[in-house]
Amino acid sequence: MTSAVGLVRLIHPAPALAVMTLSAALGAILSAQSGLPIGSRLLLTTLAVAGSQVLTGALNDWADRARDTLAQPSKPIPSGAASPRAALLVAAFGAVLQVGASIALGALPLLLGLLASASAVAYNLVLSRTPLSVLPYLVSFGVLPWWVAAGVGVELERVAVAPLLVGPFAAAAHLANTVRDFDGDARIGSRNLAQVLGRRVAFNLAWALAMTVGATVGVALLVGGRAAPAAVGLGVTGLVAAAQGIAGPRRLWAGMLLAAVCWTAAWALATG
C-alpha cells in the first residue's frame, strides 16, 4: 500500500529541496540586482524547477526498482511504501507541474527546463549504469543557471560563465552520490563512472573537485575585489561544509548539498 511517507521519499526530498532552494536564491538575487520585481516569475520558475525534481526523483526510483530490491530494499518501491504505478503517477505530476509553470514564462525558460529534465530522464533510464553516467549531471546542472535567469527575466549574459563553474561541481556531486551506493551498484554489475574509477579514486576525486571549485571561485572574487562580506561568509560556510566531507561519502554528499546553496548565493551576490 502506498503511504504518504513513501510518496515523499520517492522525490528524494533532500537533494530536491537543495536544488529548489539554490534556484530560488539565485533567482531572487538576480532579480533584485537587475531591478526586477521578486514576484510571480520567481514563483513560477521555482515551481518549474520543483516539478523537474519531482519528475527526476520518482522516475529514478521507478527505473531502479529491480536494482533497489537487491541493493537497497528499504527504498520506497521495494519496501512496499510506494508502488511502481504510484512512482509513475508522481513523475507525471512533476512533468505537468514543470511544463505548466514554464508555459507562462515563455519559450526560452520552457525549452531550457525541458533540456534539463530530458537529460535527467536519460540518466534514469539509460546512462546511470554506464561510464557516461556523469554527462546528464553536467548538462542538467549546467543548464540550471540559464534556466533560472531566463525564468525570472534576466539576460543570459548575466550567468553566461556559470556552467563552467557548475560543471566540475556537478561531476563531484555525481561521484559523491554514486560512491554512497558503491557496494549495491557493484552487486548488480553497474558500470557507472564511480565503478570504473574505483571507490577510493572516485571519492577522492569528488572531494578534490568540490574543494577546488569553492577555493577557486573564492580566490577569484577576492582578487577581483568583488566579494562583499555576506558573499565571503557564505563562501566560507560552503567550503567548511564540503571540507568535512573528507570523513566519508555520506558526509560529503550532505556537505555538498549545503555548499551548493551557499556558493550559488555567494557567487550571485559577489558578481552583481
Domain of 79, CATH number, reads 1.10.357.140
Residues 177 and 238 in one domain: yes
Least Cα distance to 94 among 56, 63, 54 occurs for: 54
Residues 62 and 136 in one domain: yes
- Letter string b/e over residues 242-264, b meaning 16 or more CB atoms within 10 A of that residue's CB: bbebeeebeebbbbbbbbbbbbb
Q: Which 8-state DSSP code applies to residue 50?
A: H
pTM: 0.89
Domain final residue pick, 99, 129, 154: 154
State how many domains the chain has. 2
Residues 201 and 262 in one domain: yes
Residues 176 and 272 in one domain: yes
Residues 98 and 198 in one domain: no
Q: What is the span of the domain harbouring residue 143?
A: 1-154
Domain final residue pick, 154, 169, 198: 154
Q: Kindly give, in sequence order, each residue whose CB lies less than 8 Å from that of residue 224, ignoring residues fewer than 6 positions away.
A: none
Domain final residue pick, 124, 154, 184: 154
Other CB atoms within 10 A of residue 54 CB: 24
Least Cα distance to 191 among 201, 182, 204 occurs for: 182
User: How far is the C-alpha of 249 from the C-alpha of 101, rounded, in Å?
Assistant: 35
* SS3 call for 219: helix
pLDDT by position in tens, the chain (length 272): 568 888 999 999 989 998 999 899 889 989 988 899 889 999 999 999 999 999 999 999 999 998 888 878 889 999 999 999 999 999 999 999 999 999 999 999 999 999 999 999 999 999 999 999 999 999 999 999 999 999 999 999 888 888 888 889 999 999 999 998 898 888 888 899 999 999 999 999 999 999 998 888 778 777 766 667 888 888 899 999 999 999 999 999 999 989 988 887 787 777 66
